[in-house]
Amino acid sequence: MTETATFDSLSLTNQVVLLGVADLAADGETPIQTHTVRQHCQQHLEDVDTEVVGTITEVDVIRSLYRLEDAGLVEEREPSSTTPTGKGRPAYSLAVSVDAVYDGVADALLQGTD
């Protein structure tokens, strides 16, 4: 499957999550955990003039990250820290270039992106 076909097959929610990981990667903040991706996506959606996606929950982000990992767009990394109970949360980084993400996601989602 080509990279273009990969992006075309992603739901808008998956594209928002991928864009969030790309933005954070561009800022040097990856690997990143799901709760931080969710916060970034919610802030980004405030600047986007679309109501198609709606509210993104942490469960939505987790599901999207699994799908994006299966598509080869993000990679799971070892957690950089563990919780007090000793269980580490997975962290994710971008497996493709930031530019490829910006070129591939829906144009409506790019509003408010640097």
- pLDDT value of position 86: 40
Least confident of 5-9, 15-19, 75-79, 90-94: 5-9
Task: Please name the helix (run of DSSP H) or strand (run of DSSP E) that holds residue 94, with its range, or none.
Answer: strand 91-94
- CB-hemisphere CA count at 13 Å for 99? 0
What confidence tens digit (pLDDT) does each residue in 15-52 have?
889 989 999 999 988 898 988 999 888 887 776 665 55
- pLDDT value of position 80: 54
Least confident of 1-15, 35-49, 86-100: 1-15
**CB environment 62-80: b (16+ within 10 A), e (fewer):** bebbebbeebebbbeeeee
Long-range (24+ apart) CB contacts under 8 A made by 60-63 are 60/13, 60/17, 61/17, 61/34, 61/37, 62/34
The answer, as to whether pTM is greater than 0.75, is yes
Architecture field, domain 3-110: Orthogonal Bundle (1.10)
Segments making up each domain of the chain, as ranges = 3-110
Residue in 28, 15, 27 with CA at minimum distance from that of residue 74: 15
* Mean pLDDT score across all residues of the chain: 80
